[in-house]
Structure 1
Amino acid sequence: MKEIPFNPVSAHSLSRQIADQIRNAILEGSLRADDRLPTEGELAQRFNVSRPTIREALKRLAAQNLVRSKRGPTGGTFIQTPDLLALSESLASTTTLLVGFESFTWDEVTQTRLEMEKTCARLAAAQRTEKDIEQLEATLKTQANEALSAEELCVSDVQFHRQIANATGNKMMSYLMSSVIEALQPATNLAAFRHRSHAVIYDQHRRLLDAIIDQHEEEAASVMDEQVNYMAQQLSDARKAHNQANQS
Structure 2
Amino acid sequence: MRRVKLSDQIAEDLRRWIVRENLGPKDRLPNERALQDHYGCSRGTMREALKALEVEGLLIMHSGPNGGPEVQQTSAEIASRQLRQFLHFQKLDFKHVYELRRSMEVALALNVVDRLTAEHLTALEDNIRLCENANNEQERELARQAEVEFHDILAEASDNPILVFICQFLNGLIRDLVDYRAGSLQEHEAFGARNVAYHKEILAAFKARDRDAVAKAMDEHMCCAETSMQQLDAAFYSDLLSRR
TM-score (norm 1): 0.83
Q: CA offsets, 1:62-100, max 9 Å, x none?
A: 1233222223332222233x14xx2x1123212322342
Distance 1:12 1:232 in 2: 42
The yes-or-no answer on 1:97 pairing with 2:97 is no
- Structure 1 position 232, deviation (Å): 1.5
CA contact (8 A) 2:110 2:211 kept: yes
AA at the equivalent of 1:159: E
Select 1:129's aligned residue among 95, 112, 117: 117
Distance 1:170 1:12 in 2: 35
Matches within 5 A, 1:1-248: 12-29=4-21, 33-80=25-72, 82-83=73-74, 86=75, 88-102=76-90, 106-145=94-133, 146-147=135-136, 149-188=139-178, 191=182, 194-196=186-188, 197=190, 198-248=192-242
Q: Paired residues, what number?
A: 234
CA contact (8 A) 1:69 1:76 kept: yes
Decide whether aligned partners of structure 1 residues 204 and 22 sit closer, same or farther in structure 2, where only a CA change above 3 A counts. Answer: same
CA contact (8 A) 1:154 1:186 kept: no
Distance 1:37 1:247 in 2: 54
Decide whether aligned partners of structure 1 residues 230 and 199 sit closer, same or farther in structure 2, where only a CA change above 3 A counts. Answer: same
Indicate the residue corresponding to 1:8 in structure 2: none
Decide whether aligned partners of structure 1 residues 187 and 230 sit closer, same or farther in structure 2, where only a CA change above 3 A counts. Answer: same
Q: CA offsets, 1:35-86, max 9 Å, x none?
A: 4333323322222211011001101221233222223332222233x14xx2
5+ residue gaps, structure 2, are: none
Decide whether aligned partners of structure 1 residues 214 and 56 sit closer, same or farther in structure 2, where only a CA change above 3 A counts. Answer: same
- Structure 1 position 30, deviation (Å): 6.7
- Secondary structure of the corresponding residue to residue 168 of structure 1: coil
Distance 2:199 2:99 in 1: 20
Q: Percent of aligned positions with the same letter in both sequences?
A: 25
TM-score (norm 2): 0.84
- Secondary structure of the corresponding residue to residue 72 of structure 1: coil
CA contact (8 A) 2:57 2:78 kept: no
Indicate the residue corresponding to 1:3 in structure 2: none
Question: Cα RMSD between the aligned structures?
Answer: 2.5
Distance 1:237 1:30 in 2: 48
5+ residue gaps, structure 1, are: 1-10
Decide whether aligned partners of structure 1 residues 63 and 111 sit closer, same or farther in structure 2, where only a CA change above 3 A counts. Answer: same
